[in-house]
Amino acid sequence: MAIEEVKETDPTIGRLVADASRDISTLISKEIELAKSELKVSAKFGGVGVGLFAAAGFIAVLAIIMFSVSLAYFIHWAGLGLHWSFLIVFGLYLLLAGGLVFAGIRSVKKVKGPERAIAQGKEIPRALKGQA
């Protein structure tokens, strides 16, 4: 194994570390800039999508109102009074809302805490102390 002499043009360890630190810092900042630019485009499309969903929801609400009036007039056409027809449609919507509330309550009762994550979180201090 031959030992070579250090030349003045060879970089020092300090210079190599400084260059590496600068390069890593530049790389990280460029990656962050890339992520920001990608997120701006995604956020723009996401915002447009949310706006379109909101417009569709508004039109759906208007359609439900028109359907409700049409249903009431159809019941009236079958021979029942107009006020009773609208009351029947109102009752149908109350039954539908009650069913949705019942289903929602059953669904919420099934919600549990993150038991496995809590258990793993309690293991972290022991693992850091080398007791795991």
Residue 105 pLDDT: 93
* Top-confidence residue, 21 or 56: 56
% of the chain surpassing 90 pLDDT: 42
Tokens representing 65 are 């109102």
User: For residue range 51-71, what is the model confidence (pLDDT) as tens digits?
Assistant: 999 999 999 999 999 999 999
C-beta of residue 68 within 8 angstroms of C-beta of residue 89: yes
What CA–CA distance (Å, rounded) separates 72 from 92?
11
> pLDDT per residue over 119-128, tens digit each?
777 777 777 6
Question: Is a pLDDT exceeding 60 seen at residue 92?
Answer: yes
- Could you tell me the sign of the dihedral formed by the alpha carbons of 75, 79, 85, 89, in that order? negative
Looking up tokens 């990280």 gives 28
Distance in angstroms (rounded) separating the CA atoms of residues 67 and 77? 15
Q: Please give the radius of gyration of the chain, using alpha carbons only, rounded to the nearest integer.
A: 34
- Grade residue 25 by pLDDT with cuts at 50, 70 and 90: confident
Summary mean pLDDT of the chain? 85
Q: What is the pLDDT of residue 132?
A: 57
pTM above 0.85, yes or no: no
The predicted pLDDT at position 17 comes to: 83
C-alpha to C-alpha distance for 64 and 89, rounded to whole angstroms:
11
